[in-house]
Structure 1
Amino acid sequence: MLIDLHTHSYPKSDDSFVAVDDLIDQAKACKLDGICLTDHDVFWTVDEIRELCRRHQFLVLPGCEINTDTGHALVFGLERYEFGLHKPPFLWEKVREKGGVIIAAHPYRRRFLEEPGREPQAREEMLERACADGFFQLCDAIEGINGRGTVLENKFAQDLGHRLGAKMTGGSDSHRAHQMGTAATRFEKKVTGLEDLIRELRAGRFRAEELAQQETAANSGSGT
C-alpha cells in the first residue's frame, strides 16, 4: 500500500492553501491508497476522520506535525495537543503512553545548509552533528524523502538515516494540491486504520518512495 504520511490542509494548517476535500481528491488522482492528515499542532477528531473516509471512500488517517524545540515531528497515536509537547522528552513520554510513534520530519532542517554542504568536509561535519542530536534517538523513524525538499536535502536525510540505522518514510509535505504525489511510504502489509498504521511503522515493514521529480526550493511554495 502506498500512503502519504505527511500532508497539510486549510484551515487546520494556516500555511496550507488546499481544503481537505481537494487534498483527498488529488491523492486519489495520484493513485495513492491513503493519506495521513498531519496538520500543525492540531488534531483531527475520530468523528471527522470517519466522515472523511465515508464521504470519499478513501483511507484517511489522523496524525499531527508537532513543532518541537529541536525539530518537527510527525506523531501518530495522540488525540489532542497539550502544553509541553514542544519538549521532545515530554512528547516521547506522551506518545509512548499511548503506544504511538514519532517520525522526524524533514530532518535536514536546522542541520544542513546547501551551499556549504556542497563541500565534502563541511557536509561531513553537518552529518556528524546531526547524528549526535539526541532528538533522533526519540524517533521511531525519520523522513528520508520529503516532497518539498531539494535533492541535496533529501540525500542528507537519507545519509543521516543510514548512519543512524533508522527506518525511513516518505511524504509529500503538501500544502498545495499540486504538491501531492511527489513522495509517499510503501507498506508491505495492508493498512486499514490507525492501529494498523502504528503497528506497521513500529514493525518497520515499509520504505520511502519518490513518486515524482522534486521541485526546486524556489518553486516548492509556502508552508512548514
Structure 2
Amino acid sequence: MASGKEDVKLLGVVGSPFVCRVQIALKFKGVEYKFLEENLANKSEQLLKYNPVHKKVPVFVHNDKPIAESLVIVEYIDETWTHNPILPSDPYQRALARFWSKFIDDKIVGAAWKAAFTVDEKEREKNVAESLEALQFLENELKDKKFFGGDEFGLVDIAGVFIAFWVPIVQEIAGLQLFTSEKFPKLYKWSQEFLNHPVVKEVIPPRDPLFAFFKARYESLSASK
C-alpha cells in the first residue's frame, strides 16, 4: 500500500476515453494527483521522455516512475492503493476481468471508431458489423449483474467507459445505430448505472464540447470525400 509523500502526475488530454479510465480509478481510490494537459499536435518534452515508445497519453507518473497504457495504469493504481479494489481477488475472476477489458480494446474501440469516422461505405459496414457482434458478446457476459464487477464497478466497467459515453456521441454524429437500448437492453442499462455513479459522474468530460469537436472532425472528413 502506498504511503508517505506521493508524487502523482497524469499526462493527458480532456476528452480521451483512455485518460478518463485512469481518472475514474484515481477518483475511486481517492488519490490526489496533478493533471498535466498535453497538446498532441505539439507534444511536450515531458511526454516524449516519459513515453518514448508510443508518445501517447495517458502517462501516469508515480514518484518519477512513468507507466503507459490505460489498462496497465489502472491495474498499477489498484495494486498500489489497495483500498476500494478494482480487480477481483479471485485469480480466475481477475483473469476474466483482464480478458474482457482487453476484448473491449481489441474488438470495440477500433471498430466503433472506424464505423463512425470511415468515409468508405464498405469499410464502414464491416466495422459496424464487427462492433455489433462484439457488443452482443458483452451483453451476454453482463447477464443480470448491475456492473461487470458485480454490485460495484471494476476493471471491465472502467474499460467500458468508451462504450457508455463515447460511442453514443460518435454514433449520433455519424448517424449510426450501434449501441441502443433496443439492441442491447442490459448493456444500455449498465451504461446508465455506470455514468450515474458518483465517482464516474465527477470525472466524465462535458458532453457538448466533445460533441462539437467530433462533429467538426466528422464534417471535415465528409468534405474531403
What is the TM-score of this pair, normalised by structure 2?
0.34
Richer in helix (by share): 2
What is the TM-score of this pair, normalised by structure 1?
0.34
Structure of higher CA gyration radius: 2
